[in-house]
Amino acid sequence: MSDLLCVSHLHVASASDRNEILRGLDITVREGEVHALMGPNGSGKSTLTNTLMGDPAYLVTSGTISFKGEDVTEWAPDARSKAGMFLAFQHPEAIAGVPVLQFLRQAMSARRGVDLSVLEVRLEMLEWMKRLGIDEAFGARPLNEGFSGGERKRNEVLQLALLQPEMAILDETDSGLDIDSLAIVARGVQAVRAARPSLGVLVVTHYTRILEFLRPDQVHVLIDGRIVDRGGAELAERLDEEGYEPWRR
């Protein structure tokens, strides 16, 4: 297995006030691996996910982000997406008047570098809707408009399946979901992984529930912008029992 995502000595500050948020992060995700990033509120988890995707609100002051062996630290967000990086948002935005099918056609065409027809996209979409337990009428609805929290997150998994990225970053995908919705979303991610075994996944979460389904190869504990511990799935279990206090300095 080769390295997919390599975060090396990464320091990140807010672009607006230059306050440092991330202080020297090192994370390497290889093909087929699932990594979990856990930490309390304000530790820098969302800063990392947004920085990985090139959000201009954050400034990389030192260190690098490499994807498939290429330094993408200065790449624009759309270039990273086309290269095969995918971010599932904690709070997916609604886009009024843009049906899910139309959105997916544009996104899939950009990702694959060809102008896909509506029929091509619809056939792929319907196949994955069946696998993910999503009603076919879903495709005609405006993107995330009037969607429940669970529907928004399942739509993110549908995008993950159809855009076929090599690296998936799940930013608190479990946020706001009840246990049944969480199970559906997590099983959806597992279905995508089964179809694409080389997919790398970085799961950002506060809780261990989603990790009971995804079973991470490595868990990273982030506190005050620094990785303070790493380990296997048992580390997440310890966090669930003890909280973050033992790791605070």
Q: What confidence tens digit (pLDDT) does each residue in 92-127 have?
A: 565 677 888 888 899 999 988 899 999 999 999 999
pLDDT band at 4 (very low <50, low <70, confident <90, very high): very high
Query: Which tokens belong to 79?
Result: 């270039």
Give the per-residue pLDDT at 92: 59
Instruction: For residue 203, give the H/E element and its range.
Output: strand 200-205
The CATH number assigned to the domain with range 3-247 reads: 3.40.50.300
Question: 100-112 and 118-132 are packed helices; what angle lies between their axes, rounded to 10 degrees?
Answer: 110
Place of tokens 């003890």: 242
H/E run at residue 157: helix 149-163
Tell me the three state secondary structure of residue 194.
helix
* Across 197-223, average pLDDT: 91
Is 105 within 8 Å of 116 (Cβ atoms)? yes
Residues in the chain: 249
pTM: predicted TM-score of the whole model, two decimal places: 0.91
